A and B are shown apart, each in its own frame.
Chain A
Amino acid sequence: MTRDEIRAAFIADLTAVAPDIAPESLRDNDHLQDDLGLDSMDFLNLVSALHNRFGLPIPEADYPRLATTALAVTYLDQALAG
């Protein structure tokens, strides 16, 4: 999976848990909680969706590595490669 494909998948899952966020308005360095207003439940739903899509465990200790789209794509890319 390329980084662009991972990014598209991440944004699809993000906008599914936060349907009021327009995909085209997203910037890669937006902080999911501070800038986009995701609460802990939205964030957990996103982690669940990513877990189901990629089959990665995504432990709680790794949550900070999903703080922005840019960070998350890097994290998912590395986790999938590893």
Chain B
Amino acid sequence: MSIFTMPSLGADMEEGKLIEWLVKPGDRVSKGDIVAVVETQKGAIEIEIFETGEIGALLAQPGQTLPVGAPLARLGAADGAEPTPAPSPSPSPALAPAPLPARPAGPAGGTAKPPPAPREPAAASVAPASAGVVLASPAARGRAAELGIALETVSGSGPGGAVLLADVERQAQAMPAPPPAPEPVPPAAPKGKPGLDMAEMRRAIAAAMSRAKREIPHYYLSHETDLQPAQDWLTARNADRSPDRRLLMGALLIRATVKAVARVPELNGRFEAGPFGPAAAVHCGLAIAMRGGGLIAPAILNAETLDVDAIMAAMRDLVARTRAGRLRNSEITQGTITVSSLGESGVDALFGVIYPPQVALVGFGTPRVRPMVHDGTVKPRLAVTVTLAADHRVSDGRRGALFLAEIDRLLQEPESL
């Protein structure tokens, strides 16, 4: 038995608003399942659970704003320890049943040693965010709540069928006018409008960046890198691909960064309590600018296991879910290094502020055709300025330089990325 609490989704977060439960008492959950949606300064975040068990009582109601650490739900061990009328005596339930694929709810078959049968069909463990979960943008979610429209009844036109604000408005128009109210009813709970509150996001950015500048002794390096080979390779590669299989330069830049981390591992990790140790996995944060201001840097988890195409797919997914307001808490709390890129219409270089408790941020300026010496003559080449902001507590300029040189080297051989 344990208590599932309001998670901290960043050093600066003090409270969060529970928007929606995606489980109910009695549901079996496995580590990594998405169980709730919480509204934060970074928009609506899907909250994963980090234990396996059975949801007991829900201790918080949607609409409540709760401090970090406040109890949200009781989680039972789901090991049959409670005296329930079990259909068949099962031997020694001392070990909690592993979150194996759910077996059919039927009798275990009367063999000599039936495994402890889960008391529930445990349909939950397969697809965390599909059945029963309605994808919706924060604005749509808020408007639907205001209007008292169940999101399940709205057909979504967004990415992956997500319900958008316009879908909710359309549904509202199509509904019959409500019967005249007999008396002034108190307006349905003056909830703050879920969605991105720019002032709140600005506060969150200010808190994180102030902490970075207060605590992290930054050093900065900059390196001009020839991007012509990567661009030529990309153009050829994309020419015979349909749009949904095309690559963006950003995927190559991230792939090169993630690979270069293997050379200088002390740039990758989270400097929290105790001495710093490099992280084994590369959870590569991606600074995504929000239209209207602000940015969110969710991470591509285990990016070191992904090739260029898989990085591209992960980026697409992450950007789409950032725009639709459906990030998961692991993605916004586990980053080990961040890449920030100015895209196609920016300026030459970006000197970043490290996102604590990470220890490095890699900046890519806008690629631009520049005169470069190539094979002994000056030629117009596409070039990009790559920068590194790194934490002097864990690395030095010499190592940082090696890292940027490695990114350069990797980008000269795009076919082997």
Contacts and interface: CB of A to CB of B under 8 A. Distances in A.
Contacts of A23: 166
A64 to B, nearest CB: 12
A45 interface: yes
A20 B235 contact: no
B394 to A, nearest CB: 31
A7 to B, nearest CB: 16
A16 B164 contact: yes
A57 B239 contact: no
B345 A33 contact: yes
Contact of B319 (A22, A42, A50, A57): A42
A19 B243 contact: no
A31 B157 CA distance: 23
A73 B236 CA distance: 27
* Chain B contact patch, size range: 20 to 34
Contact of A48 (B157, B158, B244, B324): B244
B157 A12 contact: yes
B319 A19 contact: no
B115 to A, nearest CB: 45
Contacts of B244: 48, 51-52
A44 B292 CA distance: 20
A18 B164 contact: no
A37 B291 CA distance: 6
B98 to A, nearest CB: 38
Chain A at the B interface: mostly helix, strand, loop or mixed? Answer: helix
* Chain A contact patch, size range: 20 to 34
A19 B246 contact: no
B264 to A, nearest CB: 27
B343 A60 contact: no
B243 to A, nearest CB: 4
Contacts of B166: 15, 22-23
Contact of B320 (A45, A47, A51): A45
B375 interface: no
Contact of B315 (A17, A41, A47): A41
B242 interface: yes
Given A51-B242, A60-B235, A39 B289 contact: yes
Contact of B165 (A19, A33, A42, A44): A19
B291 A20 contact: yes
